[in-house]
Structure formats: C-alpha cells, structure tokens
C-alpha cells in the first residue's frame, strides 16, 4: 500500500561526483493516512466480532409496534421489555439503573406556594404518575412530609420530560419555542416543556436559556478554511447526566435527525444521526454514530435499516447506560455499541448546514444519583424508595 | 404467490447469514448467500459486506455493483463499491464512483477523501487539492489537511506544503507518514538541516524507520561525513539486506573512511 500510494522523489543533484560516487537514496511521498477512514478487512471483521451484542449492519425494522404515544410512554415504565431483533440478545441495561419511580431530592427547595402552583399547573401532557402518592411515602425527610397531601401531587419518579416541538428550518438560527407548562416539585422533578412552533421573541429564548433550557452552541474549529457547519442544541440541565434515556418523535424527512449525548462541551460528545437513503413504503434509513473527543471526530460507523413500513413519524429512543449505548426505533433495538471515553454530559440535538429536524415529544429520564440543574436549583435524583433513601 | 415465497426464503437466507456473521462465522455466512432466486438489495448488500470483511474485494465489488446497477440511487452501495475499487487499485473507476456518491451527498467527506486519494494516484493533483479543500467536517480535518499537504508537495509548492505538514505535526507530533514526507521534501529541496531534523524526530518515534535512516545516510554522504554514513548505511543493510543503494553507499563510505585513515598517518608523519 505504501508503494502504491507513493511517488518517488529524486534527491537534489548530488555533489559527490567521483568515479565511485554514492548512489542517491530513493524517497517516496505516501498518503496512506488519507485513507484511514476506510475499513480494512481486519477492522471489518472486528465489527462483527463474536463479542458483539451489536445489531447487524443491514436489518429490517418492522414498524408494527407503532409509535408509543407520549401519554403511554410516560405511563409505562421503560422496563426494557422491548422486542429485540431476532438473533440478538436483549440489551440489558445496568441493573442498578432505575429509570423512573424514584424520589428526587432537592438541595435547595423552592417556596411551597410556588411548588404547589407549579405542581398543580394543568398540562395536556401531564403524566398520571405525577398525581400519585409516592411509593416512598414513609420517607422520613422533611421535604417528603411537607408535600404529602392529596392537593399537591408529588412526583415519584425522576423523569425530566420536556415535550416540545423542536422545529428549526434552514436558515433559521432561532429555536422557536413556547413554554406551555412547567411543573417543578420541591421534592421531584417532573417537567413537561412545550416549545411552540411559533416564533418566540428573542428575549424569550434568552430567558429560557438563562433559566436552564436549551442552549445552542456552534462547534468551533481551529483550522482556517473549514466551514463551521455544526451546531449543538443541548438541554442544559442535563449536562451532568450519566445514565439516562432520551426519547423523541421524529417526523421523517430528507434532512434526517441528529442528536448528541454525553455532551460535555462542543469538543466532547457522542452523536448519532439518521438519514433517509430511500423514501417509500419501505424506507431505507442510514444510521450512523460517532464520537467527538478532545475536538477530534472519530470515524463514523454507519449501517442501513430497511423499515417494513413507511411511518411518517418514528419514535427514537436512546438508552445510555455506562459505556453502552442502545438505539431503539419504534421500540426495536437497532444499534448497540460501547465507548467509555465520556462518562457524563448533556442530551440534545445537532444540526449541520443549518438543517434542522422536526422533532417532537422529547423526553428524558435519568438514573438515580444524577444531578439536574434547573432554574438555579441543583436537584439530585435519588434511588427509588425500595432501594433506600 | 411464488414471488412472495421466494422473497421470504431470501429474507430467511439473509437473516441466517446475518446471525452467522454476528457470531464471527463469516465464511459460513457467505456460503448461505451463494445464489439468490431473484434480486433483493439486502441480499447483495450483506453479501458484499461479508466478502469485504473477508478481504475478497473483487467479489465484494461485484455484489455492490449488482445493487448499484439495480438501484443507481443507492448511495450506501455506491460508496462501498468505490471503497472496493480503491482496494483493487482501480483508481479511475473508484474516482468515478466516489464522484457519483458526492453528486448525491456532497457533504460526505469520506467519499471526498477517497476521491482525492484516487486523484493523487491518477496524477490529477490540482483536482485533488481542490477536492481536499472542500472537506468540512471535524472527522476529516486531519486527513483533508494531509491530502492537501501531499498535493502541495507534489505540485512543488514547498512552503505551503511545509506549513500544512507543520500544522499536522501540531495535531499529531508522532505521525510517521508526515515526518517521512517531510524528509522526502527536505531531500528534494536539498535542505539538509531540515532533513536531519525530521529524520531524528522520526527515529525517536520509530527507531527502525528506514526513511529516517536513509535521510540521515543521505545527509551524511552529502556532507562527506563518511563515518556517520557508514553507521547509517550499516543499520539500513542490517534491516533491509536487499537494499542495493545502501550496500553500494556503505562500500563507498567505507572506502572513503579507509582512505582517510591511510592519509592521516602519512600527513602526520610528514609534519613530524
């Protein structure tokens, strides 16, 4: 390969001109590194190494288990009972992770009146669990007792569920959002955020950003001459998230959708993207994932999914447990890989070339122990009652 | 009805092959995908992937070509066909295929890098340079800059090439290929100081680097430092006994050293 990617360089005219003169050495210009991105047979074999629980490169994804309605998804505990692919082991998340039904504990509590008002704020997307007494009613902490009245709903889970319509079209730099309802409990975090598609005032965006909402960051590059084409839109309260689940509905379009997780900053994050390769009744999608670590973007791993049904909206779910990441489309595990470089970071989306995606019903669930920063508060998601605390 | 049965059978074939492949049993997986009843892109795509994983690039190219022939818009198959053609050193065809991928997805930098590399092989250096300039993503940053440096070097734009190489070395100070190319460029421009510097750096990274030893030997010969030349040429022939230039230069330098040693006592005696 070296020889094939090489050009012979003739040395400059030698000054050692004698009868028995030295022979010039040959030097070659090589460019094998330009092709490092391409899979070698060895690498390709590693991709399908037996260790893998990973899904196959080309798969068909039946969309029969239709998209979980948001209400349903909020009701159901994500128990990991989703149907796996044939021949694939079920992805078992970290046993210590409880996605829901845990009591959050706040370091600095808000006034009760505010909490009560926030908690009782009507929301079309309110989750039934919000209005249930916590399973840990016997909790001895003062915060728990103070809120154990039927009038005040106490969240007994730790899902942070910003439901919003994230709609950014080409050329638009503003996220168009409108907060419809926010519920924040003194002892719990249960938030449904509604971002309307109508253009918000710039001040609203600023306010939202300051209050711990979504933040847009342009990925900076050091090299001159490279286009700055990527922006991260990260949910700031999730910046310290470790194990979590990220769900949203994507209205399938040609632009595709890209999201990030474990986003520590614009130079360190994991990213995934789904693109439509071939639309139609059985659309073909491309799923790729890559990591940006210390500003260097890794090689993109890509695979193709063939859906058995052309659903206009796909429910995307990402389970992030330790170094293991699993992607579900319509409840079906379609991709699994591991990477241990980044252990914590935020959730969000990314755009390239200012091509936004139509994403709705975003929902995040965090593992116990996660620190969530919202509205100036530091909230800690505790372990479930049965587990202690 | 018959078609449905055939399709179902092929689906089962593909599923079984995928399961075997996931278990690392590539050859068995491939054996299942010998003869399709009728065309399905999954069948040929999976077969191409397995053939590629087994290093059978010619066969893999055939499988991907089948998909591309039936589905010219299948970018995935186009791209992998291009990679196979590149592995087969069919630069012209590979370049055309990479170009077709870019026609449908102009932001795909991997395809752009592949096209650039093929253009370098085809001695279309100016085009390659323009192509590397079009890369935009973080993932391709280093490789695009490397391709650009190569193109500049091949075009004889030494200063620009060196600047690009220096930027690459900031990102990756131990890149053997960058250091090797810098040695080649230094020799070509007769910059002996630079050749020595980069050769020593390369030797630090890779103590057995032939390019570094050749660079140092060439500089020593040029400067008539024959003792050093003997040392470096000796190391080269130790590692590469078939290197004719090194043998010849070793003999040449050794003769010079002996001649100098004979000459020195004589001149010393003359002074006495």
CB contact under 8 A, A34 and B113: yes
Q: What tens digit of pLDDT does each residue of A169-208 get? A: 333 434 444 333 333 333 333 333 332 333 333 323 233 3
Number of domains present in the structure of chain B = 1
Say what angle helices B158-171 and B176-188 make with each other, to 10 degrees: 160
pLDDT value, residue B268: 64
CB contact under 8 A, B177 and A31: yes
On whether any CB of chain B is under 8 Å from the CB of A224, the answer is no
Q: What tens digit of pLDDT does each residue of A115-150 get? A: 333 333 333 333 333 233 233 333 333 333 332 322
Question: Closest to A41 (Cβ–Cβ): which among B53, B138, B187?
Answer: B53
Asked whether residue B178 is domain-assigned, the answer is: yes
Query: Under a CB-based contact definition with an 8 Å cutoff, are residues B138 and A221 in contact?
Result: yes
When scoring B10, B139, B195 by the number of chain A Cβ atoms within 10 A, the one with the most, hence best to mutate, is B139
CA within 13 Å, CB half, A64: 4
Query: Cα–Cα distance between A4 and A170 in angstroms, integer?
Result: 43
Task: Calculate how close chain B gets to A28, using CA atoms only, in Å.
Answer: 6
On whether any CB of chain B is under 8 Å from the CB of A373, the answer is no
Say what angle helices B109-121 and B75-87 make with each other, to 10 degrees: 30
CB contact under 8 A, A56 and B21: yes
Please state which of the ranges A22-31, A87-96, B69-78 shows the lowest mean pLDDT: A87-96
On whether any CB of chain B is under 8 Å from the CB of A36, the answer is yes
- CATH code assigned at B258: 1.25.40.10
CB contact under 8 A, A59 and B18: yes
Nearest to B243 by CA among A15, A26, A371, A383: A26
Q: How far apart are the first and last CA of chain A?
A: 61
Task: Calculate how close chain A gets to B272, using CA atoms only, in Å.
Answer: 31
The dihedral region occupied by A37, where left means phi > 0, alpha psi between -120 and 50, and beta the remainder, is: alpha
- The pairing of beta strand A301-307 with beta strand A58-61: parallel
CB contact under 8 A, A297 and B137: yes
When scoring A6, A33, A49, A274 by the number of chain B Cβ atoms within 10 A, the one with the most, hence best to mutate, is A33
Beta strands in B95-137 (DSSP E): none
Q: What homologous superfamily is domain A59-387 in, according to CATH?
A: Exo-inulinase; domain 1 (2.60.120.560)
Question: Closest to A20 (Cβ–Cβ): which among B150, B211, B255?
Answer: B255
Name the β-bridge partners of A161: A192
The CATH 2.60.120.560 portion of chain A extends over 59-387
| Helix H or strand E segment including A232 | strand A230-235
Residue A301: burial class (beta carbons within 10 Å; 0-12, 13-18, 19+) = middle
When scoring A18, A22, A279, A292 by the number of chain B Cβ atoms within 10 A, the one with the most, hence best to mutate, is A22
Question: Closest to B141 (Cβ–Cβ): which among A47, A226, A230?
Answer: A226
CA within 13 Å, CB half, B230: 10
From the first residue on, what is the mean pLDDT of each consecutive set of 10 residues in chain B (272 residues)? 59 81 85 76 88 92 92 89 94 96 87 95 96 83 93 96 95 94 95 96 95 96 94 95 93 92 70 56
CB contact under 8 A, A33 and B175: yes
Contacts of A87 in chain B (CB under 8 A): 15, 18-19, 22
Asked whether residue B259 is domain-assigned, the answer is: yes
Q: pTM for this one?
A: 0.51
User: Which range marks the domain in which residue B214 is found?
Assistant: 173-263
Query: Under a CB-based contact definition with an 8 Å cutoff, are residues B78 and B108 in contact?
Result: no
Could you tell me the pLDDT band of residue A283, with boundaries at 50, 70 and 90?
confident
pLDDT value, residue B153: 96
Q: Which residue of B has its CA nearest to A15?
A: B222
């Amino acid at each position: 390969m070296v020889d094939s990617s090489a050009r012979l360089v003739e040395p400059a005219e030698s000054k050692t001109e004698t009868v028995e003169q030295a022979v010039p050495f040959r030097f070659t210009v090589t460019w094998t590194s330009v092709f490092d991105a391409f899979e070698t047979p060895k690498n390709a074999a590693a991709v399908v190494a037996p260790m893998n629980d990973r899904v196959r490169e080309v798969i068909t994804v039946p969309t029969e288990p239709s998209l979980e309605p948001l209400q349903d998804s909020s009701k159901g505990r994500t128990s990991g009972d989703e149907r796996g692919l044939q021949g694939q082991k079920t992805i078992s998340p970290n046993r210590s992770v409880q996605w829901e039904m845990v009591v959050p504990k706040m370091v600095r509590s808000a006034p009760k009146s505010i909490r009560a008002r926030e908690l009782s704020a009507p929301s079309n997307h309110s989750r039934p669990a919000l209005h249930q007494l916590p399973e840990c009613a016997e909790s001895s902490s003062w915060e728990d007792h103070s809120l154990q009245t039927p009038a005040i709903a106490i969240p007994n889970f730790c899902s942070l569920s910003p439901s919003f319509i994230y709609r950014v079209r080409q050329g638009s730099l503003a996220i168009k959002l409108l907060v419809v309802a926010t519920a924040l409990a003194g002892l719990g975090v249960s938030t449904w955020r509604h971002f309307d598609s109508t253009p918000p005032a710039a001040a609203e965006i600023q306010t939202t950003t300051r209050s711990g909402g979504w933040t847009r960051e342009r990925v900076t590059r050091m090299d001159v001459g490279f286009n700055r084409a990527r922006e991260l839109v990260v949910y700031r309260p999730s910046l310290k998230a470790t194990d979590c689940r990220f769900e949203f509905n994507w209205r399938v379009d040609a632009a595709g959708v890209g999201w990030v997780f474990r986003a520590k900053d614009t130079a360190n994050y994991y990213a995934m993207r789904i693109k439509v390769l071939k639309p139609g009744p059985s659309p073909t999608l491309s799923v790729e994932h890559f990591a940006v670590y210390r500003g260097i973007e890794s090689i993109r791993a890509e695979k193709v999914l063939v859906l058995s049904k052309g659903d206009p909206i796909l429910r995307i779910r990402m389970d992030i447990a330790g170094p293991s990441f699993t992607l579900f489309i319509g409840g079906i595990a379609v991709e699994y890989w591991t990477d241990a470089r980044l252990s914590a970071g935020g959730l969000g989306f990314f755009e390239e070339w200012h091509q936004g995606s139509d994403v709705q019903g975003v929902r995040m669930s965090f593992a116990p122990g996660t620190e969530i920063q919202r509205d100036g508060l530091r909230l800690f998601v505790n372990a479930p009652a049965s587990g202690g605390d | 009805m018959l078609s449905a049965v055939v399709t179902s059978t092929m689906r089962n074939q593909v599923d079984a092959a995928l399961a075997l492949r996931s278990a690392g049993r590539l050859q068995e997986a491939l054996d299942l995908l010998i003869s399709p009843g009728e065309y399905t892109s999954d069948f040929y795509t999976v077969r191409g992937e397995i053939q590629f994983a087994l290093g059978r690039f010619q066969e893999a190219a055939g499988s991907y070509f089948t998909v591309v022939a039936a589905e010219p818009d299948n970018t995935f198959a186009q791209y992998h066909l291009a990679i196979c053609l590149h592995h087969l050193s069919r630069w012209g065809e590979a370049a055309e295929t990479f170009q077709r991928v870019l026609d449908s997805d102009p932001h795909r930098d991997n395809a752009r890098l592949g096209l650039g590399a093929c253009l370098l092989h085809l001695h279309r250096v100016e085009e390659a340079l323009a192509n590397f300039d079009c890369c935009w993503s973080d993932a391709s940053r280093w490789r695009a800059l490397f391709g650009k440096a190569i193109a500049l070097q091949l075009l004889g734009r030494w200063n620009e090439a060196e600047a690009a190489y220096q930027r690459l070395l900031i990102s990756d100070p131990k890149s053997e290929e960058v250091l090797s190319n810098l040695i080649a460029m230094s020799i070509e421009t007769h910059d002996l100081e630079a050749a020595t510097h980069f050769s020593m750096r390369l030797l630090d990274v890779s103590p057995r680097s032939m390019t570094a030893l050749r660079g140092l030997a060439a500089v020593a010969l040029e400067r008539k430092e024959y003792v050093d030349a003997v040392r470096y040429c000796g190391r080269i022939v130790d590692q590469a006994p078939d290197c004719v230039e090194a043998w010849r230069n070793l003999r040449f330098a050794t003769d010079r050293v002996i001649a100098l040693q004979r000459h020195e006592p004589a001149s010393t005696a003359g002074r006495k």
